[in-house]
Amino acid sequence: MKMKVKIKEKLGKDKNEFFEFLKNYRVIDLAIGVVIGSAVKDLVASIADDLLMPIIGILTPDGSWRSIVINIYGSEFKIGNLIGSLLNFLIIALVVFVVIKKILKIEKNDEKAKK
């Protein structure tokens, strides 16, 4: 019987430590950030692929610039795919920069308002 009591006490203590860990290291906030970040990534990638890349496709002669391949000694260098990935990265980085800049500006204004 004493063994069961000790186990319950130990589990209760570990549970409290676990919840303190979650609070102190803001694990819940991090998890929420990861989920929201994933959704934002999909949204920004869709904007890049479905809205901006077709415009670039219109500006290229045959519109299939992503399929540009250079063959050297039997090796294929997919230059078009590399350029597309680079453009996607730059667009996503720009959107994230603008959003973070706006968020920081709002936070700064809120801090000034509190003073």
User: Are the CB atoms for 56 and 87 separated by under 8 Å?
Assistant: yes
C-alpha pair distances (Å), 58 with each of 53, 67, 75, 100: 9, 15, 29, 31
Q: For residue 9, what pLDDT is reported?
A: 63
Which tens digit of pLDDT belongs to each residue from 50-108? 887 788 777 777 767 777 888 989 898 888 888 888 887 888 788 778 888 888 888 78
**The pTM is what?**
0.51
Which domains, from first to last, does the chain contain? 2-114 (1.10.1200.120)
Non-local CB neighbours of 96 within 8 Å, separated by 6+ positions: 40, 44
Q: For residue 20, what pLDDT is reported?
A: 81
Instruction: Kindly report each contact of residues 60-63 with a partner whose C-beta sits within 8 Å and lies 24 or more positions away, as own/partner.
Output: none
